[in-house]
Structure 1
Amino acid sequence: MNDTLASQGPPVNYSLDVFPEAPATLEAARAHAYSQPLAEIDVANPKLFHADTVHPYFERLRREDPVHFIESPTFGGYWSITRYNDIMAVDMNHQQFSSDAALGGITINTLARGALPMFIAMDPPRHDVQRRAVQPIVAPANLRNLEPLIRSRAAAILDELPVGVEFDWVDKVSVELTAMTLATLMDFPQEQRRRLTRWSDVATAVPGAGVIDRAEQWVEEMSECFSTFQTLWYERAAGPPGNDLISMLAHGAETRNMPPHEFQGNVVLLIVGGNDTTRNSISGSVLALNQNPEQYQKLREHPELIPSMVSETIRWQTPLAHMRRTAVEDVEFAGKRIRKGDKVVMWYLSGNRDDTVIERPNEYIIDRARPRQHISFGYGIHRCVGNRLAELQLQIIWEEILKRFPVIEVVGEPERVYSTFVRGYRSLPVRIPQRRAA
């Protein structure tokens, strides 16, 4: 198995030094975005995401060139699809726009020799049968069974938080709750749950950007991950079918004989999909409410808005900034000719700020008339299989927060990750002034 992984290599193998520095403020970014030649706009600069100043570049592309091509020195030529309805059209058209790992997979930064296969990086019918194998874990009945467990854990986490001192919300709350949930879904030892968090971070890391130092480290750490899960696979396959993701794959009629590199890919998908996205939305909710104090006050006065706030947070945060497809034939699309083999990137982050579809999209409004009108979970056959579980965790944590704390204060700038794919946080300094009276 490790030989397979070593020949595959990490999904990213470049230096941040090749990218220009990002403007430090939105005002500077807007001036730069509208002053440089349109043809030179490259939104796949991880420094723009780290600085959170990418939005003006997307704004200009949506207005002037919503299907935009650039030849990137790092990622090669790629098309940026930036409008909401165009993104939906690509996402639904798997006949012409493929997710197949053999063609490059689902992220912009996959190396030319291909990506690890996983069911999200497959087309029908392979995609459908593998997705079906794990879907029972997030069926409504199973979510009802999980809800009291998630709530008890959320309550315990919040009850242990310090009052009156600064701490890192990402580490103490967002990572902790989602790691517990993911460990339960995988029947992974709870005492080792932070290994899942580490592997999730490594899986999408840019070497030299604070998680791993070199590409070889990716192979070393992910080899440990896959060896661990291969052992679990053999154990689960030898036992009776269980209600966990590994057992479901090991016993599924269409998945029990999958080759090791395919299992590796699905492990990455389940770890990142079950961990990164939800934890970054939990952190993003605290940040968004602090940046919009009138919305925070509205939430305190009307806790019945929590479900709407959760959906608005997922739109505003857009925890996965993009998904990539590969054209399998020449396509006339929105007035442009996309050639067979071209890389096509659907920028969900941009689509969620499209003012031709979403009213006042740059504002965080927790009582929108249509709060679920977003594409953070994707669209069509690849819509996130765990979207309801993600919403459930956010809803529960905020129901428990409002019972305990009048306010959670962000007391410093968040540290964001260097990634064009996962839009996330490494840390978020907060302080809780006081608890509610019993």
Structure 2
Amino acid sequence: MAGGDLTDAGARAMATPLDRINVAQPALFQADAHWAYFERLRRDAPVHYCPEHEFGPYWSITRYDDIMAVDTNHQVFSSESSLGGITIAGSAGLEEPLRMFISMDPPKHDVQRKAVAPIVSPTNLAVMAPIIRERAAACLDGLPIGEAFDWVDRVSVELTTQMLATLFDFPFEERRKLTRWSDVSTAIPGNGLIDTVEQKTAELGACFAYFTTLWNQRVNAPPTGDLVSMLAHAPATRNMDPREYHGNVILLIVGGNDTTRNTISGSILALNQNPDQYQKLIDNPSLIPSMVSETIRWQTPLAHMRRTATEDVEFQGKSIKAGDKVVMWYVSGNRDDEVIDRPNDYIIDRERPRTHISFGFGIHRCVGIRLAELQLKIIWEEILKRFDNIEVVGEPKRVYSSFVKGYETLPVQIAG
């Protein structure tokens, strides 16, 4: 369902009493049936209280400017893991909360983030660009022609996992472990990927044990340019608690995996759903950077980020109490027609394509923005060199999550 279409899901969204609307249902996102609910909230209750949810009551912030106001006010709206962290679920599904710099407030957030920031410096991106291009070319050259295959597995997962292995200097032949750990860390037990909290804890424990070994190797060796070495040697992080190290590992795995991976898949789907835009891109490859930004907005690979109010606050006429859960729905802000012209349309040559909220604002704005954009730009440059058309030949299977907005599978075929 495209944004705002009055299909059955749209009719239900408009008919549901406001106080009964609960947009944080993974099934809505898996069915791509969430759009009309957010349209309703933006129109009728842009700061909306949901009194009943499996993880407790929460406020929804659905308009672009309101999301920005919350995202840039970390004094009142905290990310601290001890208060619940950055997802609506908080630490549910984990035996113990993970600490990571995205779920910290200043000053600790700032010094830990600074420890890993050099890996996405302009100088380092220039070094990585030819590696990304070489791998993208090899991956695309190995794709079957004239037969259906899963784009998510063969391209989106493979290329992002190769990049992650490089960033961590992780054993390349074992790189798919990173994909699995990323998926497990955000999965809801009992919905296909993992069965129980205990299984989730065990698999993440294996991840932490692996990365503890890497830490011990790197901390006793001269500093290098990979993420583990940066954390092991930076003054702000080399003495951090093991639980913080493990949390930062998960943050960097998920941040380096889900956003780029699901935008690569989303770009194929969006261009297929909008063949006029696909033709526009083929006719004018210089539109690739603009197309990448538009796809990041259109896809919104992480649907929300959560904060916790640290004090009673009046916000847009609503009384938010200290301790309340406040959810910023990036997926809704990116469809706000008060800020973005024709927001439900996919337009690759928008006048201001980087006007989107997919990576957040303020101190928590995604540290890897430029790397994600670079990977997507290079991948599409290499695609257009090789293929006139990549056709989606079946329905995508979407992730069962109200946090990760992505795809498990996307069947495609390249014409012979």
For residues 131 and 315 of structure 1, the distance between their equivalents in structure 2, rounded to whole angstroms, comes to 24
Q: Report whether the alignment pairs 1:60 with 2:51.
A: no
Q: Report whether the alignment pairs 1:35 with 2:22.
A: no
Pairwise CA distance, 1:274: 0.5
1:215 corresponding residue in structure 2? 197
1:419 corresponding residue in structure 2? 401
Q: Report whether the alignment pairs 1:159 with 2:141.
A: yes
1:309 corresponding residue in structure 2? 291
For residues 106 and 182 of structure 1, the distance between their equivalents in structure 2, rounded to whole angstroms, comes to 22
Pairwise CA distance, 1:73: 3.3
2:180 corresponding residue in structure 1? 198
Structure 1 unaligned runs (5+)?
1-24
Matches within 5 A, 1:32-181: 32-111=12-91, 115-181=97-163
For residues 330 and 77 of structure 2, the distance between their equivalents in structure 1, rounded to whole angstroms, comes to 16
Question: Deviations for 1:18-77, whole angstroms, at most 9, x for unmatched residues?
Answer: xxxxxxx96111100010101100000000000011010000000000000012230211
Aligned residue for 2:159, secondary structure, equals: helix
C-alpha change, 1:26 and 1:282, in structure 2 (3 Å) is: farther
Question: Deviations for 1:184-203, whole angstroms, at most 9, x for unmatched residues?
Answer: 00000111110000000100
CA contact (8 A) 1:103 1:114 kept: no
For residues 177 and 6 of structure 2, the distance between their equivalents in structure 1, rounded to whole angstroms, comes to 36
CA contact (8 A) 1:326 1:342 kept: yes
Q: Report whether the alignment pairs 1:349 with 2:331.
A: yes
CA contact (8 A) 2:149 2:411 kept: yes
Pairwise CA distance, 1:215: 1.5
For residues 258 and 179 of structure 2, the distance between their equivalents in structure 1, rounded to whole angstroms, comes to 8
CA contact (8 A) 1:26 1:53 kept: no
For residues 168 and 230 of structure 2, the distance between their equivalents in structure 1, rounded to whole angstroms, comes to 10
Matches within 5 A, 1:223-242: 223-242=205-224
Amino acid across the alignment from 2:11: A
Pairwise CA distance, 1:264: 1.1
2:346 corresponding residue in structure 1? 364
Question: Deviations for 1:259-303, whole angstroms, at most 9, x for unmatched residues?
Answer: 111111101100000011100000000000000000000000010
2:237 corresponding residue in structure 1? 255
1:331 corresponding residue in structure 2? 313
For residues 239 and 139 of structure 1, the distance between their equivalents in structure 2, rounded to whole angstroms, comes to 23
CA contact (8 A) 2:41 2:48 kept: yes
Aligned residue for 2:50, secondary structure, equals: strand
For residues 240 and 101 of structure 1, the distance between their equivalents in structure 2, rounded to whole angstroms, comes to 32
CA contact (8 A) 1:26 1:56 kept: yes
1:4 corresponding residue in structure 2? none
For residues 405 and 310 of structure 2, the distance between their equivalents in structure 1, rounded to whole angstroms, comes to 28
Aligned residue for 1:201, secondary structure, equals: helix
Aligned residue for 1:426, secondary structure, equals: strand
Aligned residue for 2:134, secondary structure, equals: helix
C-alpha change, 1:328 and 1:147, in structure 2 (3 Å) is: same
CA contact (8 A) 1:410 1:431 kept: yes
Q: Report whether the alignment pairs 1:401 with 2:391.
A: no
Amino acid across the alignment from 1:218: K
Pairwise CA distance, 1:115: 2.9
Q: TM-score, normalised by structure 2?
A: 0.97
Question: Deviations for 1:219-241, whole angstroms, at most 9, x for unmatched residues?
Answer: 11100000000110111100001
Aligned residue for 1:76, secondary structure, equals: coil
Pairwise CA distance, 1:175: 0.4
Question: Deviations for 1:384-417, whole angstroms, at most 9, x for unmatched residues?
Answer: 0001000011100000000000000000000001
Amino acid across the alignment from 1:86: D
Pairwise CA distance, 1:114: 6.9
CA contact (8 A) 1:101 1:114 kept: no
Q: TM-score, normalised by structure 1?
A: 0.93
1:13 corresponding residue in structure 2? none
Pairwise CA distance, 1:111: 3.6
CA contact (8 A) 1:102 1:114 kept: no
Amino acid across the alignment from 2:314: E
C-alpha change, 1:242 and 1:89, in structure 2 (3 Å) is: same
Q: 1:284 aligns with which of 266, 270, 281?
A: 266
Structure 2 unaligned runs (5+)?
none
For residues 228 and 242 of structure 1, the distance between their equivalents in structure 2, rounded to whole angstroms, comes to 19
For residues 300 and 122 of structure 1, the distance between their equivalents in structure 2, rounded to whole angstroms, comes to 43
For residues 232 and 366 of structure 2, the distance between their equivalents in structure 1, rounded to whole angstroms, comes to 21
CA contact (8 A) 2:91 2:98 kept: no
Q: RMSD in angstroms over aligned alpha carbons? A: 1.0
For residues 179 and 71 of structure 1, the distance between their equivalents in structure 2, rounded to whole angstroms, comes to 39
For residues 284 and 91 of structure 2, the distance between their equivalents in structure 1, rounded to whole angstroms, comes to 48
For residues 111 and 254 of structure 1, the distance between their equivalents in structure 2, rounded to whole angstroms, comes to 25
Question: Deviations for 1:300-334, whole angstroms, at most 9, x for unmatched residues?
Answer: 00100000000000000000000000000001100
Aligned residue for 2:344, secondary structure, equals: coil
Q: Percent identity?
A: 69
